[in-house]
A and B are shown apart, each in its own frame.
Chain A
Amino acid sequence: MQVNSMDLTRIQFVKSFVKSRYPQTIISVFLLAGFVLAIMAGFIGTPVGSQNFSIVFVWIAWWAILILVAVPFFGRGWCAVCPIPRAGDWLQRGAIIDPAAKKPNWLGWRVPKFLRNMWTQNITFSLVVLFSATILTNPRTTAIVLAAMLFMAIGLAMVFERRSFCRYLCPVGGFIGLYSKLAPFELRVKQKNICAGCHGKPCYNGSTDGAGCPWDVFPGGLVANTYCGLCFECIRTCPHDNIAFSVRPFSVEAATPTAKLDEAFKAFIMVGSAISYAIVLMGTNGMIKLAAYQVFSRGWFLNALLLVGTNFVGLPFLFWLFVRFGRSQRALNAKQFAMASSALIPLGLLFWVAFSLSFVLANATYIMVALSDPFGWGWNLFGTAGMDWQPLGSAYVGILQAGVLVAGLVWSAFVAQKTADRSKVPAWRVILFCLAVTMVMMWLLL
């Protein structure tokens, strides 16, 4: 999309930054060290979550940066420096910085076609949500999940070509991809006709300058941010200097909604999960909390059933009722349904922002404590280990959340209007649905 975007690679500093592999690699290696520390802290540190680096840095610090800053403003910016696929990348390419003279002979299979969609990520994210009460609070469980993600990314890099873990399995990557459509940055080709005539398509197939797109995307056909991981490898391999990294208005992809059901369901899952978290984690009912925490208990199964039922059936059905009820003229097909549900993308993102404000600011002081004493062993590296717990901005969090939720509704109404022409679903129906779920979220959080 070339609407009102400004190519940042025209700025020499930015171009040098994205052309070189060093900045990304250095940031990633630094984050990888933090990631490994989080795994270690989870296994050998204190079992008290609020005093353990793994819980505090992953679920408070990292989550806050991800959902409040990285995703809304930079889209897949986190994926650009994510440490999880890094080791797998190195092994797959046989190199850390510059391309190897000869690539190692790993299996390099292509991911089966039936798995090349967002459904697996919908399932992995749902699994994380189902176990989240323990994952978010138990350091050892967090460590197991982080280690599993790391080793799975490495293992899959040995078996399949490119970044199959990021593209098809990462529970976080799915929703980052969905919400990156709203972000004010995009990576696109400058002139499509140059790509059409390009011999060998090194941006996709790789060359001596670098790897073919690790995200299995041909940049020449890129129209949405969803599956572009901002690794910038195509900028490095393009022999025609035809790839631009641009800044653009927020939500510019809203006018071209997806017609894919897997992405539509991702939007429903995100909205439903945010509501579920608001009930379970921020609600006052201790029985519900215990049910969510006591994995495989009867209460947990009931909770899981309700969550899966709401996210995969209840919410989509309710949406269908809103957009279909009383309309006799036309039937509603799956493509229309998927396109109309695009309005839930900004709504879901801001639901998560509002929910996260509830606990991130309240628990931010734990970050200083864990920084000084990451394992909970009584260290005081920076003199902050004894800092008392003190919620930040508690007098204003509610007002902030109300503003965020209203902004989410306005944004989704704007998207509903933009998509109405293509989906042939009247915007007012989608807006009423968004208003209804926004009111539910307001009632839960405010």
Chain B
Amino acid sequence: MKPFFPLSVGLLALLAIIVPIQPISSVPSKRVFTVEASQYAYSPGVISVNPGDMVTINLVATDVAHGMYIEGYELAVFSDPGQSASITFVADKNGHFRLRCNVSCGAMHPFMVGEIQVGQNYLLVRAFGIATIAAIAFIVYQHKIRPQNASE
């Protein structure tokens, strides 16, 4: 049994990584958001859209100049104080992506972040899955394969 144990765990972990997850189907639609940027947050801080949606973000800087860089999509928009600027894109990548201010807006600027959620966060689901498999594997190993070392 012993040689099969790490192999089984490895296979399970591999499955957790590669098994395709069926996205929740939705009809792509046009989504428009007005996001206010002020030191040091976006409001709303989190935007949720469905995969395939045509997303327009109107960025309004309310105090000083702010920007918005969408990680993963590598898109950026910039807004002067009191002005609005917009960006439109198709949300064709699944997952959760950080929005970062790309204009020095003050002391906490490097930590001014928001988030756009496109569908489900499969990375998190897979990470949870692998972490759980790893933890269970260690516990099973301790109790079934090397029971002499299990204290309880």
Using a CB–CB distance below 8 Å, which chain A residues touch chain B?
A: 48-51, 133-134, 137-138, 281-287, 289-290, 293, 327, 359, 362-363, 366, 389, 391, 394-395, 397-399, 402, 405-406, 409-410, 413-414, 416-417, 420-421, 424-429, 431-432, 434-435, 438-439, 442-443, 446
Contacts and interface: CB of A to CB of B under 8 A. Distances in A.
25 contacts: A51-B104, A137-B110, A138-B107, A284-B41, A286-B39, A286-B40, A286-B43, A289-B40, A293-B107, A293-B108, A366-B110, A389-B69, A391-B100, A409-B135, A410-B138, A413-B135, A416-B138, A421-B149, A429-B152, A435-B131, A435-B132, A435-B135, A439-B131, A442-B124, A442-B127
Contacts of B123: 398-399, 402, 446
A359 B130 contact: no
B112 to A, nearest CB: 8
Contact of B102 (A286, A389, A395, A432): A389
A438 B98 contact: no
A23 B135 CA distance: 44
Contacts of A428: 138-139, 142-143, 150, 152
B138 A431 contact: yes
Nearest to B148: A421
B138 A417 contact: yes
A413 B124 CA distance: 20
Given A434-B135, A435-B131, A439-B131, A391 B69 contact: yes
B138 A406 contact: no
Contacts of B126: 402
B109 A284 contact: no
Contacts of B51: none
B111 to A, nearest CB: 4
Nearest to A358: B98
Contacts of A48: 104
Contacts of B52: none
Contacts of B54: none
Contacts of B143: 428
A417 B40 CA distance: 44
Interface of B: 38-43, 45-46, 69, 71-72, 74, 95-96, 98, 100, 102, 104, 107-115, 121, 123-124, 126-128, 130-132, 134-135, 138-139, 141-143, 149-152
A133 to B, nearest CB: 7
A414 B102 CA distance: 41
A417 B142 contact: yes
A429 B142 CA distance: 12
A398 to B, nearest CB: 5
A426 B152 contact: yes
Contact of A286 (B38, B138, B152): B38
A359 B43 contact: no
3 tightest A-B CB contacts, nearest first? A286-B41, A284-B45, A394-B71
A446 B121 contact: yes
A50 B110 contact: yes
Contact of A427 (B74, B109, B150): B150
B142 A289 contact: no
